[in-house]
Amino acid sequence: MNDCKEERKTPITFVALVVCTCKRTKMLKDCILSANELILPSDIKVQLIVIDNDPECSAREIVNENAQHIRIPIVYASEPRRGISNARNKGLKEAIRIGASHILFFDDDEILTPDTLIAHINLYNKNKTALISSGPTISKFDEKYPDYIKKHMVFKQRTTKKTGDIRTNCAAGNVFFPVALVKENGLKFSDEYVFMGGEDGDFFHKASELGFTIVWNNEAVIYETVPEARANMKYILKKCYYNGYAGAYYKFKNNKKILKKSFYILKTILVLFANLFCLILSLFCGTVMFFNTLGTAARTKGKIDGAIKNTPYNFYEEIYGE
């Protein structure tokens, strides 16, 4: 099996660094400048593609301003149809158009580390199983916030996963994969999740089912900037609720078994009561424990609503106001 996967590997000759953005110019600038710090292999071509999902093309000026200051060529492309799936699919098309052999996907609120790209390349070349390399994204606070914010479960911390672990799906915030996945299989990000999010989990789960093994890569680190707009309990609780809602929605969106759903809802209601009881106890365990328990309760409430309503949740409008 490993030999078969090794034969399917496309040699890395040209990597497209693909970042999607929408009205976050300050974050995008920092993201672009971090790409300039990457360790670049001498024998591999690298190009940065910025997909602007703002119909007013607000990112164009930032791209033009910084193009002359970094050593990686930049391609700017506009995707006026709003929605994360549309933006990511435009990124796939642009990578194919410029002739890239591989793609490194990341987000405009993320900061690449110098080793990010080379770590993905090394795993892809050295691990016979790895056709997709998925790395950690760690939350980075740009100001000093209290521990109950910085240590909340909603923000991404160091992981206990190990390099070489095989996964069945992954996020698009830090992932490296061959363009052949798209060109030869017609895979794209689903319109079903265009405003909800989760399009990346769906995309890479389908890739895994196609035999493109996803391997965890602990060395390919990216940092996700946490701005003031997110470092507060209003955002945190909304995000916890969404995470629960989305999980239940994905679980039951194609499941017609009423009995199974009813049992899930009843069980989750009981879990919510347990969460509320633990919330009272957590008052005696400090603010970090209290707010994490509150987040757990919000996530459980989201699971109940997601299973009952079973309709897409507009994540970007509800949480970001977009």
The domain that contains 29 carries what CATH number?
3.90.550.10
Same domain for 246 and 222, yes or no, is no
The percent of the chain in helix, strand and coil, each rounded to the nearest 5, is: 45, 15, 40
Q: Which domain holds residue 288?
A: 233-320
> Which segments of 160-315 does DSSP mark as H helices, in order?
180-183, 199-209, 233-252, 258-282, 287-309, 315
Same domain for 211 and 286, yes or no, is no
Which amino acid type is present at position 34? S
Same domain for 147 and 261, yes or no, is no
- Residue 201 and residue 198: Cα distance in Å, rounded? 5
Q: Which two tokens stand for residue 84?
A: 């994360």
132 with 168: CB under 8 angstroms? no
Which of 226, 260, 286 is the last residue before a domain boundary? 226
Same domain for 216 and 253, yes or no, is no
Q: What is the pLDDT of residues 87-123, one digit of tens each?
A: 999 999 999 999 999 999 999 999 999 999 999 999 9
- Residue matched to tokens 């000759």: 13
pLDDT on residue 251: 87
Same domain for 92 and 182, yes or no, is yes
Rounded (5°) CA angle 252-255-261: 60
Same domain for 153 and 211, yes or no, is yes
pLDDT(248) > 70: yes
- 229 — pLDDT class (breaks 50, 70, 90): confident
Which of 171, 193, 226 is the last residue before a domain boundary? 226
Same domain for 19 and 130, yes or no, is yes
Same domain for 115 and 202, yes or no, is yes
Q: What is the pLDDT of residues 186-204, one digit of tens each?
A: 999 998 888 888 899 999 9
pLDDT(215) > 80: yes
Same domain for 191 and 266, yes or no, is no
- Provide the domain count of the chain: 2
Same domain for 181 and 295, yes or no, is no
pLDDT(3) > 60: no
Same domain for 145 and 101, yes or no, is yes
Upper half-sphere CA count for residue 171 (Cβ side, 13 Å): 11
Return the axis-axis angle of helices 84-97 and 199-209, rounded to nearest 10°: 50
pTM value > 0.85:
yes
Same domain for 123 and 70, yes or no, is yes
Q: What is the pLDDT of residues 258-281, one digit of tens each?
A: 899 999 999 999 999 999 999 999
Element (H, E) at 223: strand 222-226
Which of 178, 207, 226 is the last residue before a domain boundary? 226
Q: What is the pLDDT of residues 5-29, one digit of tens each?
A: 555 689 999 999 999 999 999 999 9
